[in-house]
Amino acid sequence: MNASLPTPVKIQHAADFGKVAVLMGGLSAEREISLKSGRAVLQALLHKGIDAHELDVDQQVLKKLEQGGYGRCFNILHGRGGEDGVIQGALEVVGMPYTGSGVLGSALGMDKLRTKRIWAASGLPTPEYVVLSQEEDLQRAIEQIGFPMMVKPVHEGSSIGMTKVLAAAQLGDAWRKAAAFDPEVVAERWIHGSEYTVSILGQQVLPMIRLETPREFYDFEAKYTEDTTRYLCPCGLPEEKERHLQQLSLQAFAAVGASGWGRVDLMLDTEERPWFIEVNTVPGMTDHSLVPMAARVAGISFENLVWHILETSFR
């Protein structure tokens, strides 16, 4: 399978972007992270001379865009309503250009279950899983996957609602915790090994980052509040191995229809085999975030990174 992503348009002058709404906040469980990301993006756009404005998204967002005379949107909404095709579809209806993936890529990328099904059908390795819909599914997960396993809501980001389950006595609580966020829940085989992330910007794959945390896994606290997480970039893999994984990640990104910019998360097991975990089509842009980290190693400043992301609004 060959990765096929659109060639980004290059913009030379800030005025060519017109008036830009930075869509942030929203109503999802990731609202506070989105606000933090959005304000960092806004400041960077302003420093580049772009006519950018903060827009905290609510049900009146389309009306506000029209009344404000905006020409395009920088979408930095995380989670439901902003990363799942909903805002993308609304913007398509009114003809408003926006950054990142389109409706299909956003919807699939946010849906961990259907992402896994597409990857499996495309020959891309992803851990075995069981859908947890009712009590009877818990025993099936124990029999098919075993312990440890990861239980997660299908449509949440930032590791919200996720639990590493070590024994049968924990499984029911983990399922109910995930189901509190989403009626669709999956149990996934735990991969013993190292965690990596691959950032994508247009057709460029940025240097891989290896993630190391003393916590059970790279959870919400490890991502946003803890100072004990280590980010290794360069990631320490042999150059040929990293290039191979970058190309596979590009294929995984394109397979779900994602485009523009984003991130692919994967594991390498103890035998150095890759396992793809999920896609992020609107990754974080905070001081703990991974895409800016990888961009910096590639020689791209935060301000130039947001400029390049804004270029993805030209299709």
Which of the residues are catalytic?
30, 158, 224, 263, 265, 278, 280, 284
Q: How far is CA 82 from CA 78, 91, 266, 279, in A?
A: 6, 11, 23, 15
CB 101 within 8 A of CB 257: yes
Whole-angstrom distance, CA of residue 83 vs CA of residue 110 = 6
Residue 312: helix, strand or coil by DSSP? coil
Q: For residue 97, which amino acid is it?
A: P
Say which residue the tokens 């926006």 belong to: 98
Whole-angstrom distance, CA of residue 88 vs CA of residue 77 = 11
Assigned token pair, 4: 């096929």
Say which residue the tokens 């903060």 belong to: 54
Say which residue the tokens 């609202």 belong to: 31
Residue 235: helix, strand or coil by DSSP? coil
Q: For residue 143, which amino acid is it?
A: E
Checking DSSP bridges between strand 193-201 and strand 261-269, what pairing results, if any? antiparallel
CB 113 within 8 A of CB 131: yes
Say which residue the tokens 């935060």 belong to: 302
Q: How many CA atoms lie within 13 A of 97 on its CB side?
A: 15
Whole-angstrom distance, CA of residue 239 vs CA of residue 242 = 5
Whole-angstrom distance, CA of residue 227 vs CA of residue 255 = 34
CB 230 within 8 A of CB 238: no
CB 78 within 8 A of CB 158: yes
